[in-house]
Structure 1
Amino acid sequence: MTFSFEHLKRWPDAEAANLFAVDASDRLIVDEADEALSEVSGSETVVIGDRYGALTLGVASRHNATGIRTQQDWLTGEQALANNARAAGLEASYRSLPLGAELLAGAKVVLLQLPRSLAELDEVADLIARFADPTVTVYAGGRIKHITLAMNEVLGASFDTVSATRARQKSRVLVASNPQATPDDRPYPKREFHAELGLTVAAYPGAFAGTSLDIGTRFLLDFLGQVSPSAHSVIDLGCGTGILAAAIAKQRPDLQVLATDQSQAAVESARATMAANGLADRVTVVRDDGLASQPDASTDAVLCNPPFHVGSTVHTGVALSLFRDAGRVLVPGGQLFTVFNSHLAYQSDLRRLVGPTTVLGQNAKFTVTVSTKR
């Protein structure tokens, strides 16, 4: 099958009529970088933030490139890229790597989907300036509604030259070159001590809520004491920076604790949080698509503060998938503790996917429930 942007799928991420695997910014980034890409090899090309493979496979197809290095934060993005590459016969054109030196060493062209967070952009720009070839050019694109002048300033902190292309189909590309010398110390992860928890929270820029304590997690923390005294194991599902996992491990030294998230930034943040609190030997942190790697009926309790959106689109599919996974891995009589925006009214879904569900607490915005596996 010949590659076409129109053939790209999001699977195994959520598929819906209002969710797309490619947009105009993907096409524009590939077009704007076309001349530069024609002058470098695939191994000198790096793609960062590719959502479902449009950038990586667009470059591979157009330039017959191999050895492209690609980084995606979400595991489902990596899996979708692999699926799309297989369908197009381009599975040998790239390799996936984490954000860091191996990804960027010697890179001469970097294609980047602009992240929403300025801190994420700052981290990426800093790493490119540190490790890429001195001649590197960065093509960073996105939808105009999400691009701000502050992004030029952030890129300008790591590159001497930053310019913007003409807009096309409500998209634009920022082009950065001439990397500046970087300080010896890396600025991330950030760390913040929360006296109310007695915990230090560490975060890389891509992790939800950063070093702060989001209000949903704060509410769920009030109910950790209701985890069954007979429980031997607990999973923090969608762990983010690992606050729930660290808190339950601190409260219950008898528990075997697993923290899991599909975001690489979240996983690295959670590991840093455990290290900062002396819990690295007691809490295992893994990158996983939900609980795909966990066997059936294998844990006594699950803690979950699920997302209620996919990207910028409100969508319940991710939360329902997490509830389904929790129901599968819980032992009979096991407990799922979850917090969610009250208007989402997940109780019927939790009863269907896990078992009998009780409301433990409710405030102006959030509901905390416990569901018991049948």
Structure 2
Amino acid sequence: MTTEAVLGGHTLTLHRFPLDQKNRSLQAWDSADEYLIEHIQNEHTNAQHILVLNDSFGALSCALHALDTQTSRKVTSFNDSYVSQQACLYNLKENELESRQTVLLDSLSDLPSDVDLILIKIPKNAGFLQYQLSLLSQFEHDVPVIAAGKAKEIHTSTLKSFSHFIAEPSTSLAVKKSRLIFSQTKHKKQTCKFPVSWPLEKTEFTVLNHANVFSRDSLDIGARFFSNYLPQGKKPLRIIDLGCGNGVIGLQTLAKMPNAKITFVDESAMAVASAKANIENNLPERLQNCEFVQDDCLTDFAPNSADLVLCNPPFHQAQAITDHIAWQMFVQAKQTLRSGGELRIIGNRHLDYQEKLLRLFGNCKVIGNNKKFTVLSTTKRG
């Protein structure tokens, strides 16, 4: 994995998180970061408080501090991802920039009003971009906004979102397949549709979703199939809904298991907030039996502390398709489960999770499948 980046003429050591992932072709910055920093170096050297949205691994935060020879610049990084925030802190320290003024905010925080430049890495999720632009539309003073992304991911609809929420945008030429978008805040006070709510089929529940949560408008087909294979009964199990998203799997499990305690875990601040809202709104009497945790999978969980882990693992990290997050989930689930505890997952059939679980646990059985998905169960042996 390449870790040496040259951004704005400065050589930085930048690590992608999690640190032990095996895909050596992935790196912690891209050509959009390079293009954006080069533009800042040429056009905005005097910016003193820069707001950065969606800085995946801290590359922009590190580069912005490295460019500032006066060491007085403040960078506020606004991010939905716990992993991204941890990577930012790590990379700042790695490049001896941890003493600089850097503030990390999660995606449901209020934005600072005293910024003089706003930078955006275009997120994969168009609804999340609209949510962020709606926040920028509340600014009472005009602030330059510069967004960056892969040219193929900047669509006409992307530009329409900018013009709707803030000022009419213009775009740069493409360089290394990346492009910049130029706009500014205009105090339009536009709101967006998020969070949204929708009825959960075959139940009396209503599900709330914040903007950056997977399958925002209905139950996704994987969760729908997994719902047929959830545990039930009166055992007082300690259960983890790992990668919980809006918490719909844990919600349905809680309804079927009156004595269970469930911990909802996701690296997304919006996912954890959605899961908590869905318990509060649908099963408020069970809220005391729940915990809601933002974490990098199960990194901070005690060993041998859970009876059952339920999981619908992702096979991507932002725009990168990769199975390292699933593998991390499986490894850490084994560590967190008690002897005799179970990991129950759903996955696309072509991903061959069965082989991975057999290798890790020494056992695995299919408890349900259709043409697209397989539900697997594996047990931690003593």
Taking structure 2 as the reference length, what is the TM-score of the superposition?
A: 0.90
5 Å matches for 1:175-254? Answer: 175-182=182-189, 187-225=193-231, 229-254=234-259
CA deviation string 1:157-199 (max 9, x = no partner): 111332112221111111111423315x663211111231332
Distance 1:125 1:149, change over 3 A: same
Counterpart of 1:239 in 2: which secondary structure? coil
Q: How far off its partner does 1:65 sit?
A: 4.6
What does residue 37 of structure 2 align with?
A: 30
Distance 1:281 1:179, change over 3 A: farther
Given that residues 241 and 269 in structure 1 are in contact (C-alpha distance below 8 angstroms), is that contact kept between their aligned partners in structure 2? yes
Q: How far off its partner does 1:101 sit?
A: 5.3
Given that residues 206 and 265 in structure 1 are in contact (C-alpha distance below 8 angstroms), is that contact kept between their aligned partners in structure 2? yes
Counterpart CA distance in 1 for 2:141 and 2:39 is 20
Counterpart CA distance in 1 for 2:175 and 2:42 is 18
Aligned CA-pair RMSD: 2.1
Given that residues 47 and 73 in structure 2 are in contact (C-alpha distance below 8 angstroms), is that contact kept between their aligned partners in structure 1? no
What does residue 111 of structure 2 align with?
A: 103
Given that residues 236 and 303 in structure 1 are in contact (C-alpha distance below 8 angstroms), is that contact kept between their aligned partners in structure 2? yes
Q: How far off its partner does 1:100 sit?
A: 4.7
Counterpart CA distance in 2 for 1:252 and 1:236 is 14
CA deviation string 1:132-169 (max 9, x = no partner): 45121111110101110111110111113321122211
What does residue 161 of structure 2 align with?
A: 154
Given that residues 121 and 155 in structure 1 are in contact (C-alpha distance below 8 angstroms), is that contact kept between their aligned partners in structure 2? no
Q: Which amino acid aligns with 1:188?
A: F
CA deviation string 1:86-107 (max 9, x = no partner): 1111112212111355433222
Counterpart CA distance in 1 for 2:109 and 2:305 is 37
Identify the match of residue 125 of structure 1 among 125, 128, 133.
Answer: 133
5 Å matches for 1:186-335? Answer: 187-225=193-231, 229-279=234-284, 280-335=287-342
Given that residues 104 and 128 in structure 1 are in contact (C-alpha distance below 8 angstroms), is that contact kept between their aligned partners in structure 2? no
What does residue 74 of structure 1 align with?
A: 81
Larger displacement relative to structure 2 (267-276 or 139-148): 267-276
Given that residues 235 and 257 in structure 2 are in contact (C-alpha distance below 8 angstroms), is that contact kept between their aligned partners in structure 1? no
- Percent identity over the alignment is 28
Given that residues 236 and 261 in structure 2 are in contact (C-alpha distance below 8 angstroms), is that contact kept between their aligned partners in structure 1? no
Q: Which amino acid aligns with 1:206?
A: N
Stretches of structure 1 that go unaligned for 5 or more consecutive residues are: none
CA deviation string 1:178-224 (max 9, x = no partner): 423315x6632111112313322211121111132111111111111
Larger displacement relative to structure 2 (142-151 or 31-40): 31-40
5 Å matches for 1:21-60? Answer: 21-34=28-41, 37-41=44-48, 44-60=49-65
Given that residues 3 and 61 in structure 1 are in contact (C-alpha distance below 8 angstroms), is that contact kept between their aligned partners in structure 2? no
CA deviation string 1:316-354 (max 9, x = no partner): 111011011111111111111100111122223213333
Distance 1:355 1:302, change over 3 A: farther
Q: Which amino acid aligns with 2:216?
A: G
CA deviation string 1:241-275 (max 9, x = no partner): 11111111111121111100011221122222222
Given that residues 234 and 300 in structure 1 are in contact (C-alpha distance below 8 angstroms), is that contact kept between their aligned partners in structure 2? yes
Q: Which amino acid aligns with 2:271?
A: A
Counterpart of 1:213 in 2: which secondary structure? coil
Given that residues 33 and 139 in structure 1 are in contact (C-alpha distance below 8 angstroms), is that contact kept between their aligned partners in structure 2? no
CA deviation string 1:263-322 (max 9, x = no partner): 122112222222221344432211011111211110111100001123333321110110
What does residue 343 of structure 2 align with?
A: 336
Given that residues 81 and 106 in structure 2 are in contact (C-alpha distance below 8 angstroms), is that contact kept between their aligned partners in structure 1? no
Stretches of structure 2 that go unaligned for 5 or more consecutive residues are: none
Taking structure 1 as the reference length, what is the TM-score of the superposition?
A: 0.92
Distance 1:269 1:37, change over 3 A: farther
Given that residues 3 and 57 in structure 1 are in contact (C-alpha distance below 8 angstroms), is that contact kept between their aligned partners in structure 2? no
Given that residues 53 and 80 in structure 1 are in contact (C-alpha distance below 8 angstroms), is that contact kept between their aligned partners in structure 2? yes
Counterpart CA distance in 1 for 2:361 and 2:227 is 21
Larger displacement relative to structure 2 (363-372 or 5-14): 5-14
Given that residues 21 and 52 in structure 1 are in contact (C-alpha distance below 8 angstroms), is that contact kept between their aligned partners in structure 2? yes
Distance 1:281 1:37, change over 3 A: farther
Distance 1:343 1:85, change over 3 A: same
Counterpart CA distance in 1 for 2:72 and 2:278 is 39
Q: Which amino acid aligns with 1:277?
A: N
Larger displacement relative to structure 2 (72-81 or 168-177): 72-81
